[in-house]
Structure 1
Amino acid sequence: MFFKKIVTLLFAACAAVSVGFAKTGIPSDADFWSDYPDDELATALTERMTDEELFAQILMFGWAGAEPSDLLNSWVIDRGLGSVKVFGWNTDDIRLVAKSVKTLQKEAASRRFRIPLFVATDQEGGWIRHVKGETSDTPGNMAIGASGYAFDAYYSGFYINREIRALGINMNFAPTVDLYTNLDSSVIGPRSFGSDPVTVGILGEAFAAGSMDAGVIPTAKHFPGHGDTSLDSHGRLPQIDIDFSTLQNRELVPFRYLIDADIPAVMSGHLSFPQIESDGTPASLSKKFLTDILRNRMGFKGLIITDDMMMNGATLFAGSFHRAVTMAVEAGNDIIISSTTANLYDNMWTRNIERMRTVPEFKERVQDAARRVIEAKLKYFKSDNHAPLYPDETKIYESIPDKEGVKFFTEQACRSISVYKRGEAFPFVPKEGERVLIAGPFLSLFNEGRSRYPRADVFHFSYELKQDKSNFDSWNAESLAYVARGYDTVIINVYDRHTASIAKRLRNSGKKVIVLSIMSPVYVLEDFDWADTVLCGYSYSSYSFAALFGALSGEFVPRGEIPLGKHLFN
């Protein structure tokens, strides 16, 4: 009887082993490119990883120079870094960007699991365009909101991302689906599609679809919503004093659209909501926001990625960088971003590796995040539509700027132009002998203006006009007012509070004043009824200036609408 029980137990043990093997069926020498189901392969790889490999897989570092530093290369070669980010500091040479991406991917492929890198950037369009050089400088999200057409959002996402795909960039931190509800916002502004949650959700969903069709992973940001604050989380932690009901029925609406459309990634924001998280914990470090609300309540199944952890909004609350990273992981983030490449033995690394070895729950959370990252990579890189791992830098200019995109962005800019005030000078056709002055800080403003009004003179003023009469900018502004005396009509560009105050000096000048607003329109919504004509164009892109002057000169009838609820500025 005893022998029979032993045999029975052995058979049961063997059966258990057999079942365990059947669940994965993956041999020990399998790597990323082995042909197994994504979920099973991701699990098998993470089970074989060391603590160091697991933690490195959930990190994303950027580089500050024109090329990746030796330190960043060491992270990829020696540590198995999971992701890198292309920041906008040294990206004018797009061939060098492509070459750098290729080098980093080859280094990643040299490691034992051959797991490729996620290579990300912020190419939202409009104001935020981290990869510069010859990439398209587009009208941007607020221009899309002004046209109101989902196909403008879709094709913006498509052409913007088709360009960066050619460089080997496979993840874009866009679309921005923050609502423009605080008109004093200094960090969102024209990056937003507008103030209406449903419209923003529809346009964000369309942009993301265009991005995916172009072969680049989109990322909705900044969860749960950065629009209702005038503060920038780069400098300090913004507090948004709204209750959960308001959050649910306003800020979360666009994210719900994108989650229902299976957005593959969401970026968490360094934002405090004291009525919801009473101790002020930023959403990016909050398990309540990321696990309870985003994962469990809203049903999001993709990657959660932090905003840059070097921002003061995160580190000041946590007390240190390494503690902020720990909190971010425990809250539910799967990828942790740092714009600065950490030293190999930084506290961020050593303290969190030690925590993995002493706190089982923390290691389990890191392993879960790494598994999510690897499974997302498997689905992406083994699909039929992904960015090249090894881009050919010699052929970059065949794809950038996108030839089809150039035509589209011209048309999109025209659809966005909005008339805030229609005066006698609209459309503007100068009379015989009428003296016209075009004033602003952008060369494309003058080029497009002179192409329509070749007899016009131009006045260039600084980007940074201030109110302090003791400095050069004040002198520059006084000069503009003085020079304007010699003209009948002044076409002036307004793009912020400073330039709006300069334009207002022409209020009682007796001149015909035409205002061309770019970026956020809030600066002309406040007090410009005295101007003859006010047109809104939403970006400093040459496409937008061409469209503004095209509308002003009567080449087409502008039909865009300012995408801000009238209750916000009445």
Structure 2
Amino acid sequence: MQDIHTILAEMTLEEKAGQLIMSSFVGRNTVPDDMVALLGSGAVGSILYFSGCNVVDPVQLRDLTEKVQTAARTNRFGIPVFVAIDQEGGQLAPITCGVSIGPGNMALAAIRDEKDAVEAAYENGRITGEELASIGITTCFAPVVDLCFEEGLPVKDNRYFGSDPVRAGKLGAAFIRGLNSAGVMSCAKHFPGQRNVDIDSHFELDILPGSVADMMKREWIPFQEAINADVSMIMTLHAGLTAVDPTNTPATLSKPIIDGMLKKNLGFGGLVVSDDIQMKPIKDKYGIDGAVVKCIAAGVDIIIVSGGVSEANAYIADGVRRGEISIERLDEAVRKVLEYKQKFIRNEVPPHAVTDRVCASADKLSTIQRCADKSITLLRNSTGLLPLRSVAPDSRIGIVRPSMGRLMMSDNTNFYQVSFKDVFSEYFPSVHEYSVGLEPNETECLGASDWAFMADYLVFCTYNAYKWPAQLKLLDACLQYAGPDKLIVVALRSPEDLAILPENVHTIIATYGVAECSIRALARTIRGAVQPTGVLPVGVGGGSIARGAGLTVS
């Protein structure tokens, strides 16, 4: 890569604009010819990987990344690309095998001791960063630092650190410092703050109701902490914020929100990256051509335009020619992108031996497991059932669980291949696993009831039962056969399930997710190999169970 001053002086408008475009493609072993052409011409400056489109395992992804960078460096300035992925841990980890997947934000926030929680967040960031760096990935779109503060609404997402802005800020900053230590770019998201509401910004435009004073005391504390921790990127949210921009223009396209509030007021000097501009609230109203121009004019530095759009850089260049984007604004964004590329992109992708040695190493898996162990939260143990230390060799442990479906767009738990039976068999001699649908049917209920009758202990798992109430009907049926004294109920995903469980359930646990480390932590806790010490990082049931709830057992 040449000198930045020289590059800027010689670039065409289209080449400058290309540095501001992050695109994607479908391909696991080769880069499609059309993307090779876009990279070579400088029309695309960054690539975003998706689980279903690009990922098999770390070595395959390392080889694909090498091909991406080889294609990119054929542009006339030899400029490499940012290669990004949303490897958050918990419910969103596109690389699902061969790496150390952490328990996720809500689980980390459930660690009782704040010092331990901050250390765990740092370690999760560091481990994720080191593994991504060994693959050649330059950018991790994590952590999510949005707050789950609407405690009167069901907690639908486990990507939050919880409802305490100060604690969320500390944990987010620690995760960022961990990524930074590995030389991988971090990204706090989604500014100005995604709410815990039934509005998915992939499909609808949310309007944030808070005043600037409210946001400064709540939503923006974690973002400010991220900035203080030297976060590389902040991702925007497709939502309006009336208090800052009365037109309710989505933040991604709003100069008062991006340039005025994020850059000038909060003092962010890194790269502002948009969420995918192909999302419905943006594309339907503004069109891709109009949206990319408004993005750059608003202060966004990199625009995610997922696959299928090859003219995005031309749209921006035309916007400059029409005077809708100043050349100064364009050059400012391009210069910043090139500076970060000089800082974070290595000349070569690490060799296979490094990928093999770094990813899912024993020490990394052990560290991740210790973090998950500390997150398990015991909410009821009224009959003293736990821990099950004295289990007879012929005792049967039955596990009834719903299938791990993809419940929202930012979710790939349906790709996780964890076997509850295999994990629990590390700690119990006789384990049987029975899977049902999210809304169990009559046949599934009959099969589960059989296991409730035959098992000596039954681990009954819910998976957002607050939304799929047939799971509670199945629980009632199992209670008739298992009885409360041999039944352990586990809220696998949303802790909201804790608030709707009946009083005659005597033993209740929350895991905050289904990453393998969380399932192993669950088995270890039930067996008594580790002590449950987690606490709820958010209130549930309209406040009926408060933030901070959680028992300990010696």
Question: Quick check: TM above 0.5?
Answer: yes
Give the C-alpha shift of residue 192 in structure 1.
Answer: 1.2
Cα-to-partner distance string for 1:443-472 (whole Å, 9 max, x where unaligned): 53222223333234332223xx237xxxxx
CA gap of 1:159–1:453, structure 2 versus 1, over 3 A, is: same
SS in structure 2 of the partner of residue 419 of structure 1: strand
Q: Could you say what secondary structure the match of 1:190 adopts?
A: coil
- The answer to whether structure 1 residue 323 and structure 2 residue 287 are counterparts is no
**Secondary structure of 1:284's aligned partner:** helix
Cα distance in structure 2, aligned partners of 1:285 and 1:429: 57
User: Residues 57-87 of structure 1, C-alpha deviation per residue, up to 9 Å, x if partnerless?
Assistant: 1111111222322111111112352111111
By how many angstroms is 1:134 displaced? 1.1
Q: In the alignment, what sits opposite 2:358? A: 399
2:427 aligns to what?
452
Query: What is the alpha-carbon distance in structure 1 between the residues aligned to residue 274 and residue 152 of structure 2?
Result: 25
Q: How much has 1:299 moved relative to structure 2?
A: 0.8
Structure 1 position 341, deviation (Å):
4.2
Look up the equivalent residue of 1:337 and give its one-letter code.
I
State whether residues 265 and 304 of structure 1, in contact with CA within 8 Å, keep that contact through their aligned partners in structure 2: yes
Change (3 A) 1:455 1:104: closer
Aligned residue runs from structure 1 range 138-149, under 5 A: 138-147=102-111, 148=114, 149=117
* 1:509 partnered with 2:480: yes
Residues 228-264 of structure 1, C-alpha deviations (whole Å, 9 max, x = no match): 3222211222233333222221111100111122222
Q: Summarize the Cα distance change of 1:213–1:182 in structure 2 as closer, same or farther, 3 Å threshold.
A: same
SS in structure 2 opposite 1:562?
coil
Residues 186, 61 of structure 1: alpha-carbon distance in 2 compared, 3 angstrom cutoff: farther
Check whether the contact 2:201–2:279 (CA below 8 A) recurs between aligned residues. Answer: yes
Q: Does 1:68 align with 2:31?
A: yes
Aligned residue among 195, 208, 214 for 2:182: 214
Match runs of 1:161-560 below 5 Å: 161-182=129-150, 189-318=157-286, 320-343=287-310, 346=311, 348-359=312-323, 361-381=325-345, 389-393=348-352, 395-424=354-383, 425-429=385-389, 436-440=397-401, 441=403, 443-462=418-437, 465-466=438-439, 473=441, 475-481=443-449, 483-487=451-455, 489-497=457-465, 501-507=470-476, 509=480, 511-512=483-484, 513-560=487-534
Partners of 2:390 and 2:472 lie apart in 1 by 20
The 3-state SS of whatever aligns with 1:136 is: coil
Deviation digits for residues 522-548 of structure 1, max 9, x if unmatched? 122333443121111122122111111
* TM-aligned CA deviation for residue 308 of structure 1: 1.0
Deviation at 1:334, TM superposition (A): 0.1
Distance in 2, Cα, partners of 1:198 & 1:380: 29
d(CA) in 2 for partners of 1:545, 1:355 = 51
Residues 126 and 539, structure 1, Cα contact 8 Å, conserved in 2:
yes
The alignment partner of 1:129 has SS state of: coil
Instruction: Classify the secondary structure of the residue corresponding to 2:195.
Output: coil
Any idea what SS the aligned residue of 1:128 has? coil
Could you tell me how far apart the structure 2 residues matched to 1:162 and 1:528 are?
Answer: 44
The alpha-carbon distance between structure 1 residues 456 and 109, as it changes in their structure 2 partners (threshold 3 A), is closer
Q: Is 1:91 aligned with 2:55? A: yes
Q: Which has the higher mean CA deviation after the structures are superposed, 479-488 or 75-84?
A: 479-488
Task: For residue 154 of structure 1, give the secondary structure of its aligned residue in structure 2.
Answer: helix
CA distance in 1, matches of 2:68, 2:122: 30
Question: Once the 2 structures are TM-superposed, how far is the Cα of residue 486 of structure 1 from its aligned partner?
Answer: 4.2
Q: CA RMSD in A?
A: 2.5
Gaps of 5+ in 1: 1-31, 35-41, 382-386, 468-472
CA separation of 1:116/1:139 partners in 2, compared to 1, >3 Å: closer, same or farther? same
2:549 counterpart residue number: none
> How far does residue 370 in structure 1 lie from its aligned partner after superposition?
0.8
CA distance in 1, matches of 2:266, 2:496: 33
Per-residue deviation, 1:302: 0.6
User: 2 CA distance for matches of 1:388 and 1:561?
Assistant: 45
SS in 2 for 1:491: strand
Q: For residues 466 and 201 of structure 1, do their structure 2 counterparts lie closer, same or farther at Cα, with a shift above 3 Å needed?
A: same
Deviation at 1:325, TM superposition (A): 1.2
Question: Which amino acid in structure 1 is aligned with residue 475 of structure 2?
Answer: L
What is residue 537 of structure 2 aligned with on the other side?
563
Aligned residue type for 1:52: E
Between the aligned partners of 1:454 and 1:486, the Cα distance in structure 2 is 15
Deviations 1:204-239 (A, max 9, x none): 000000001011010111111113322221122223
Q: What is the number of equivalent residue pairs in this alignment?
A: 516
Match of 1:14 in 2: none
- Deviation of 1:296 (Å): 0.8
